[in-house]
Amino acid sequence: MTPPGVDPARVVIEALRLDRWSPDEVEVRADRALELGVGGFILFGGEAEQVGRLVERLRNDAGRSLWIGADLERGAGQQVRGLSEFPPPAALAAHPYPEEAATTAGRTTAEEALSVGINWVIAPVLDLDAEPDNPIIATRSFGPDPGRVGELGGRWIEACQSTGAIACAKHFPGHGRTKDDSHIGLPTVDFPATLLEDDLAPFAAVSDRVGSMMVAHVSYPALGGGRAATVSPDIVSGLLRGRLGFEGIVSTDAMIMGGVGRDDAGAAVEALKAGCDLVCYPGDAGATINALERAAADPTFATRLEDAAGRADRVCPPGAMASRGGASHGGWESVAFACDTIVGDREVVRGWRPDVPTRVVGVSDDPDVGPPAGRAGPLGTIVADELRSAGWSICAGPEARQCVVVLAATPRSWKGRGAPSTRALNEARALVGSARRGIVVLLGHARWLETLGAPAICAWSTETVMERAAAAWLRAGTRP
């Protein structure tokens, strides 16, 4: 039995998948989690009005503060349809005024998140873009330079938290050097501690400001043995709490990920022992709570659990529900903002004419993965519609003499690959080569431009705002 005053459920953050589950299933799972007494929820997907209503209902039924989190690295619209999308951090860093870009993105993301009741903005990524073959970081990073990542990440965090939301720097102590995806298994970063100082630097730069940090399901033998950082006391308590002096909330990454191993309930106990405060997205919240309760029979663990639950309760911000999605800053302002991040040379569209029949084709480097939530139609539809609305002659038949290939090659969970697939590259090259004039709009990292072997521009990510920005860039490049 759990000692009096210790509530293991309060450190558990349950997931609600509005992007995958029916509304009825979301409600059933939410009710079950509230009955268990969880400390909050991490949300995926949904319309702004729907999310606002759900969060309001959760808070009313709970009768207490809840952590309501979401992964919002690329704006609140990354998860909540109807709110603004932003370019990824790599693109913000490529903006002519990157400090202003990071500040605007952080503030707007948090304002819109709060408008639907999300008070925990699980961003930004402070990992370094240190490994080209990294399958999961890439454009999610502000870049390879530790000082620059710390500076831009710090501006994003300060702007976010100035609104009343809590930001979450991730993935401590750094996921940027991995060649494996922690969603699939446990990556190992087998570098000496002296080199890993670069990875730690961005987190150290914000440790006295950010409200929470997320620990990586990654092993760092030089820092904490062969186990994941999530369950390593040397990394969580020794390095993050001790050396960096971090006093905020320490969260696990999603416990359903392969880097945790098969027994994620047991790993949750080990994570709390290591110094984590919140257990995020367990495979089975009930099983995890039961495991924590059993472990609390040990007085030492019970004290640690009480400390974590107490900190989580104290730090949890109130969730103002002022507008329920009415704070969107989307529209052409976001598109113009995104246009400044596109990497390309106007010479690649010299000679293009809007009145010449033009084909727009989408190519994904991972055809088994569906389009991002909320996308209207197949990949490339947005570019085609934007060009058509501007008077371009868009067609799908053999009469096309110009071809725009929209190639999606962005990091995705469980994808397991960083570089665009050979199949996708070959398909994009063939499509460009089959037209009198052709260009690839790369929705991926700029480093892959050279591998395309075709005229191309980099629009960084599959957010719809980047497709619209690419269309605006093409229109501007073909003006007489």
What are the residues facing 213 on neighbouring strands?
A: 169, 250
Residue 450 has pLDDT above 70, yes or no: yes
List the catalytic residue out of 7, 71, 127, 253: 253
Domain ranges within the chain, ordered by starting residue = 8-315, 332-477
Q: What are the DSSP calls for 408-461, one per residue?
A: EE---TTT--SSPPHHHHHHHHHHHHTSSEEEEEEEE-GGGHHHH-S-EEE--S
Task: Specify the fold of 332-477.
Answer: Rossmann fold (3.40.50)
CB 92, CB 86: distance < 8 Å: yes
Report the pLDDT value the prediction gives residue 4, as an integer from 0 to 100. 63
pLDDT-derived band at 209, boundaries 50, 70, 90? very high
Residue type, 258: G
SS3 257: coil
pLDDT digits (tens, 9 = 90+) for 12-24: 999 999 999 999 9
Domain 8-315 has CATH 3.20.20.300: yes
Ranges 61-65, 354-358, 409-413: which has the least confidence? 409-413
- Read off the pLDDT of each residue in 323-344 and give the average, rounded to a whole number: 74
- Read off the pLDDT of each residue in 88-105 and give the average, rounded to a whole number: 96
- Read off the pLDDT of each residue in 418-445 and give the average, rounded to a whole number: 94
Residues of the chain above pLDDT 90, percent: 85
Residue 2 has pLDDT above 90, yes or no: no
Going through 242-301 in order, the beta strands assigned E by DSSP cover 249-252, 279-280
List the catalytic residue out of 183, 217, 329, 445: 183
User: Rounded to two decimals, what is the model's pTM?
Assistant: 0.94
- Read off the pLDDT of each residue in 311-325 and give the average, rounded to a whole number: 72
pLDDT digits (tens, 9 = 90+) for 163-202: 999 999 999 999 999 999 999 999 999 999 999 999 999 9
Residue 419 has pLDDT above 60, yes or no: yes
Report the pLDDT value the prediction gives residue 370, as an integer from 0 to 100. 52
Query: Average pLDDT of the chain?
Result: 92
pLDDT-derived band at 329, boundaries 50, 70, 90? low
Ranges 202-216, 267-281, 324-338, 383-397: which has the least confidence? 324-338
Residue 325 has pLDDT above 60, yes or no: no
Residue 330 has pLDDT above 70, yes or no: no
pLDDT digits (tens, 9 = 90+) for 360-414: 999 998 766 555 555 567 899 999 999 999 999 999 888 899 999 999 999 988 8
Residue 354 has pLDDT above 60, yes or no: yes
SS3 80: coil
User: For 146-172, b where at least 16 C-beta lie within 10 A, e where not — what string?
Assistant: beebbbbbbbbbbbbbebebbbbbbbb
Burial class from Cβ neighbours inside 10 Å (0-12, 13-18, 19+) for residue 399 reads exposed
Report the pLDDT value the prediction gives residue 173, as an integer from 0 to 100. 97
pLDDT-derived band at 224, boundaries 50, 70, 90? confident
pLDDT-derived band at 130, boundaries 50, 70, 90? very high
Report the pLDDT value the prediction gives residue 87, as an integer from 0 to 100. 96
Strand order in the sheet with 120-121: 249-252, 212-215, 166-172, 120-121, 67-70, 40-44, 12-17, 279-280
Report the pLDDT value the prediction gives residue 52, as an integer from 0 to 100. 96
Confirm whether 171 is a catalytic residue. no
Confirm whether 253 is a catalytic residue. yes
